[in-house]
Amino acid sequence: MLMNLRNGIIKISDDLIIHPQYSFEDFQKTRFYEGQDDARVISIKEPQIIDGRKYLIDFIFHNGEIYSVFLCNIDEELPDWEDLPRQKEIHDKILIENGILNGCQYGWGNIVSERDPKSGSCTISIYYLV
């Protein structure tokens, strides 16, 4: 399963398990910390496998607490930004397969499949309440 919907936990790797109370201090203890600043978007350099799928992962902290996690599935090689509609379809399908309603609110936050043509990106976005 992509993530635990009951408690908002997503396991990215054995030492990077994000949950609603996850802090920048927690992140600093992982092998992924490379001196990043918690005031900027943090990108994991290497693709990560979650539930058998390969993702590029970014996240944002707000006041030292996790605010959002962005997953971009890269199992299919899509030629360029013009394929954003296809990328969004892939992300929508992943949510459906995991029993996640796009935009559904949970006690810890929400999950949406988003397409941003302005930035040329498409992600599964997890937003935590802060």
Neighbours of 123 (CB within 10 A): 24
pTM to 2 decimals?
0.92
Q: Which amino acid is at 101?
A: L
94: its two tokens: 């992943």
Instruction: Decide if 74 contacts 47 (C-beta within 8 A).
Output: yes
Other beta carbons less than 10 A from residue 34's beta carbon? 8
pLDDT digits (tens, 9 = 90+) for 55-100: 999 999 999 999 999 999 999 877 665 678 888 999 999 999 999 9
Distance in angstroms (rounded) separating the CA atoms of residues 45 and 78: 19
* C-alpha to C-alpha distance for 3 and 127, rounded to whole angstroms: 13
pLDDT of 26-41, one tens digit each?
A: 999 999 999 999 999 9
Residue extents of the structural domains in the chain: 10-128
